[in-house]
C-alpha cells in the first residue's frame, strides 16, 4: 500500500508518516499544496491524506482538480474546522471522508482502513443475494434476471445494504454513507427510500429480502 500525505505541519506530518511506516505502508510526504498535487498526478497511490489549509494551494482546490482529471484515488481530508459546511465543501469537491483536527493516529488509521476496504470492494464484481443481483460497474440491478430501474439514491442504499448482507444497518449508517455526512434530520428520508426500494425489489417476489428491525434499522437477508 502506498500513501500520499499532504500536510504542512512538520511535526504532524512526521508523526503520521512514522505511524504508517510502522504499519507497513510506503509513505510520501508533501509539505505544500503544489508539491502534493504534483505527486498525486504523477505517482500511483492507494490513498491520499489531504490537509485543507496548505501553503501554495489549498486542499479543496487540489481535491477538485484531481477529480476533474479523473484521478479517483480515495482522499481523506484533514480539517481544522469542525463546521458541517466545511466538511460538505470537501465532500462536494470529491473527498471520500474527512477527519477533524486534532485527532489521534489510531482514529486516522481506522478511517483509512475503512476507506481502503471500501475502495477495494468497489472493484469487486457483481453483488448477489438470492436471485437479486447488483452490478456496481454497470450500475444495474436485476431480480430473477428481470432488470429493475432504481434512482441513484435507491441504488446507493441497496448497494450499501448488499455490501453488509445479513448485518443490521442503522438509518444513521445509511445517511452517513449515502449522503456522505451526518445529518440527523434526514434519517426519516431513509424510510421513504427503503419503502420505494421494497416496492421495486420485493413486491411480487419471494423470499422478501429487505427487513425492518423496529427501532434499530434494516437488514438485507434471505431470512429474518
Ligand atoms: Ca495545514
Domain CATH for 59:
3.40.50.2300
Q: Which of 89, 119, 149 is the last residue of a domain?
A: 119
Q: How far is the CA of 9 from the centre of ligand 1 (A)?
A: 6
Q: How far is the CA of 59 from the centre of ligand 1 (A)?
A: 9
Residues 10 and 78 grouped into a single domain = yes
Q: What CA–CA distances, in Å, run from 196 to 152, 170, 204?
A: 12, 17, 14
Q: How far is the CA of 72 from the centre of ligand 1 (A)?
A: 23
Q: What is the model's pLDDT at position 192?
A: 87
Ligand 1 ion: nearby residues, β-carbon < 5 Å: 8, 51, 53
Q: How far is the CA of 32 from the centre of ligand 1 (A)?
A: 9
Residues 82 and 46 grouped into a single domain = yes
- The reported pTM is 0.56
Tally of domains in the chain:
2
Q: For the segment 54-99, what is each residue's pLDDT rounded down to a tens digit?
A: 999 999 999 999 999 988 889 999 988 666 676 677 777 888 888 9
Residues 111 and 10 grouped into a single domain = yes
Q: How far is the CA of 5 from the centre of ligand 1 (A)?
A: 12
Query: Above 60 in pLDDT, residue 185?
Result: no
Q: How far is the CA of 99 from the centre of ligand 1 (A)?
A: 13
Residues 68 and 111 grouped into a single domain = yes
Residues 135 and 211 grouped into a single domain = yes
DSSP letters, 21-68, are HHTT-EEEEESSHHHHHHHHHHS--SEEEEESS-SSS-HHHHHHHHHH
According to DSSP, residue 70 is labeled: T
Which structural domain range is residue 22 located in? 2-119
Residues 73 and 154 grouped into a single domain = no
Amino acid at each position: 500500500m502506498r500513501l500520499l500525505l499532504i500536510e504542512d505541519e512538520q511535526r504532524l506530518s512526521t508523526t503520521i508518516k512514522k505511524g504508517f511506516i510502522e504499519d507497513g505502508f510506503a509513505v510520501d510526504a508533501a509539505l505544500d499544496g503544489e508539491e502534493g498535487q504534483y505527486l498525486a498526478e504523477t505517482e500511483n497511490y492507494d490513498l491520499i491524506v489531504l490537509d485543507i489549509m496548505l501553503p501554495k494551494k489549498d486542499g479543496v482546490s487540489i481535491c477538485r482538480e484531481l477529480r476533474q482529471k479523473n484521478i479517483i484515488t480515495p482522499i481523506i481530508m484533514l480539517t481544522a474546522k469542525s463546521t458541517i459546511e466545511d466538511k460538505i465543501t470537501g465532500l462536494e469537491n470529491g473527498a471520500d471522508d474527512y477527519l477533524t483536527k486534532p485527532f489521534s493516529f489510531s482514529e486516522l488509521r481506522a478511517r483509512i482502513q475503512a476507506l481502503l476496504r471500501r475502495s477495494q470492494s468497489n472493484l469487486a464484481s457483481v453483488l448477489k443475494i438470492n436471485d437479486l443481483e447488483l452490478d456496481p460497474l454497470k450500475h444495474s440491478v436485476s431480480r430473477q434476471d428481470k432488470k429493475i430501474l432504481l434512482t441513484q439514491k435507491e441504488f446507493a442504499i441497496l448497494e450499501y445494504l448488499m455490501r453488509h448482507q445479513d448485518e443490521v444497518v442503522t438509518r444513521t449508517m445509511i445517511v452517513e454513507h449515502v449522503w456522505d455526512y451526518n445529518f440527523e434530520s434526514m434519517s426519516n428520508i431513509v424510510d421513504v427510500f427503503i419503502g420505494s426500494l421494497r416496492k421495486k425489489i420485493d413486491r411480487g417476489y419471494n423470499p422478501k429480502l429487505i427487513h425492518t428491525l423496529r427501532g434499530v434499522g434494516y437488514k438485507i437477508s434471505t431470512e429474518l
